[in-house]
Chain A
């Protein structure tokens, strides 16, 4: 390691003043970043990884303050610097890129102008050449036709494109250090790969140092020299990324690593290694009858394209309405889900997987095609009538965001009871309560939490409420729409195992919608890969993921960041011990 690090964080403690007193979000953290080095800060939500980076730039909220310790950046004492000194530093010496790139850009200002603002502030350009330099910055992040794009607004660009603009903004003044806070969360895997490769290439080229903040161990291992693992505001392990994956020393790191879905493991491997931990009884595997429960044939969904003046045209023109251009979100999709089977529906954003699941759930009407459920043509029933029919209780759904999919004014018990009260046969207060408690036990939700509101529950607990609600009516088919996308890996591991156990106990079928191929591999028997509204490949999970036939599937698989690492030997011994 070089003698004087570019960034030296010593004994940093950050406090937040909250209504319940002072909360220490970061405690005694030490981080050194050498010139040209890329380090990863890995941790789950609430680990203090973002707060640490905000402290480095001194952009903490009003309530937060650096309570102890020092931050030195190339000889400047950041904690003691004046606000105007900090303004000079931000953007020109240290810059930052954020999660959710579209929100990180001013929605009503041209992207070129936003880059100009930074250039002008740091005197890297003057009025004469500023436009030229902004266009150049866009060109460097490989934005095609930069001169044209200069005039674009963020809403006119895709998520990946917006992240390139954010990177251009961050690199415009050629800083020495770039902090990337979850730069690819929410982007598709292939976009993630291009964005990460771009960041790596540009920062290497300029000899910059990078701090990559992420919850994704795979991503950190693939792109960083060194990895710092944080938990509850403390650094618990720092090691070269090779070492941390071959020989993680801290139990938390091991737990995180185990919980990360990766090739070559089974669902049970995700769970913590401690024997006798909270583990659900694995029931007998339900016999797979193989008879199809859901059959979808040539399903099509068209949306009218938004056109200017269309309403006017229809108002004034006599005769038949002009041919409107339509957009096919789902274009002739056929597949089947058998009884007791899990089918994965995989693809990138905009591929039509969510639209397909909404049509199967009968939340929206399809344009053409047949949806057969257990011998009945449910596609014939209009979406608004379907919700009241008895057959509705046989198909249930678990949604992506466990927080947004719960009514904030319903307690957990009320949320779980909701479908029973609408379509179930349990009558009477006490019987209903008893059923809710049974369900809570089934999904591993402590019964005493049933009277809490969603904001009083953790992410994993909310996910359990959502699952309990879905199984309350003993459905035959559950549609899982990215049920773990918003959860930390360790929580995801538990929830995925829970889903598998429930499936085996209750003999349900799953239609699992996801963008995460590793997760799909663990849970699904068969997988369907979609792109542009069409199915590109379908087959048994192992076959599709290990010997993909379609080029697109290969592209998807190769875009997943991973460094080949094995589960530590010690862990596997324990696992054996636990299972015998």
Chain B
């Protein structure tokens, strides 16, 4: 098992190096002159030139890259041109916000989609199977900003059950002491239930929006994997041995069907983490996706590079986690490693 983890980590190194090079080159290839943008529309040619020298943009690419890598080794991702804040600090503050939202959304989605997929697979062609198809198709067909707006309209404006969609906490509550960066967990660790409830209330609507969107891949994959496993010989053996339907479906079928489902979960999670800009915008969520998009529009190198690198590391870590889970579930994977 440890060999497997070690091996996968080694295998990640070349891809990370690739990511560093490609993001550097790509950001340099972006249209727009950051120096001109930073200097403002009224700046003189000299002023722009001065800024260019200050930013090191007058140097040849290879020198710029060298400086970038040296800074990176020191953990310095550079500073944002627009906010002036160090990128590393920004990401540290924003990544937990996105992660908390995505994780909760995924948990809600799993809680609905997996049982739905299992039920649909055990009774193919039944009402629940059709319901599963309709719900998931509807969920994935509606754009997230639309679902988000509908939820806000319904639960905040009409019913008044949810708080105003304005970020991670209402203005009267102060955030808990940062340990993990996830407010739900930090507040529980601090024993502050009031903050826990406040942040949970803020989280519910955006998490629900994400959950509705990600229902489809998880439910469909669960259904397909379960159908394949239920038709296999060992399920027939389990049935012929008189095992109860619950044991057959959960212990025998579902554990085998989990492998493709976990792969899908990993893909959905990494996709959502970077791509839920629209949800973050609707709910004024200080997440990492909106941060990256704003930086990209402003031709602001450092945050974009930082963002891509962070996502790449997250993706590698996530894949590692999935591999480890695979090994835990399937003994055959352990041997191949």
Contact = CB atoms under 8 A, between A and B. Distances in A.
Nearest to A110: B331
Contacts of B233: 98, 100, 103-104
B7 interface: yes
Interface stretch (B68-76, B169-177, B201-209, B238-246): B238-246
Interface of B: 3, 6-7, 10, 124, 232-234, 236-245, 247, 251-252, 255-256, 329-332, 335-337
A54 B254 CA distance: 24
B242 A108 contact: no
Interface of A: 57, 59, 62, 86-92, 95-96, 98, 100, 103-109, 117-118, 121-122, 153, 155, 166, 169-170, 306, 308-309, 311-312, 315
Given A105-B237, A108-B330, A308-B337, A87 B256 contact: no
A461 B124 CA distance: 34
Contact of A118 (B7, B242, B245, B330): B242
Contacts of B244: 87, 121
B247 A59 contact: no
Nearest to B234: A106
B242 A153 contact: no
Most buried by B among A105, A306, A308: A308
A311 B3 CA distance: 11
A271 B237 CA distance: 38
Contact of A121 (B124, B232, B241, B335): B241
A90 B7 contact: no
Contacts of A96: 237, 240
A117 B330 contact: no
B13 to A, nearest CB: 11
A252 to B, nearest CB: 29
Given A89-B242, A95-B241, A105 B332 contact: no
A96 to B, nearest CB: 4
A166 B238 CA distance: 11
A57 B240 CA distance: 7
B239 A59 contact: yes
A169 B241 CA distance: 8
A117 B237 CA distance: 12
A43 B238 CA distance: 26
8 closest A-B pairs (Cβ-Cβ)? Answer: A90-B242, A91-B242, A91-B241, A103-B233, A96-B240, A104-B237, A106-B234, A118-B241
A122 B256 contact: no
A309 B240 CA distance: 42
A193 B249 CA distance: 35
A24 to B, nearest CB: 22
A206 B329 CA distance: 38
Nearest to A84: B244
Given A117-B243, A309-B3, A108 B331 contact: yes
A117 B332 CA distance: 21
A315 B6 CA distance: 13
B242 A98 contact: no
Nearest to B235: A106
Contact of B256 (A91, A100, A107, A121): A107
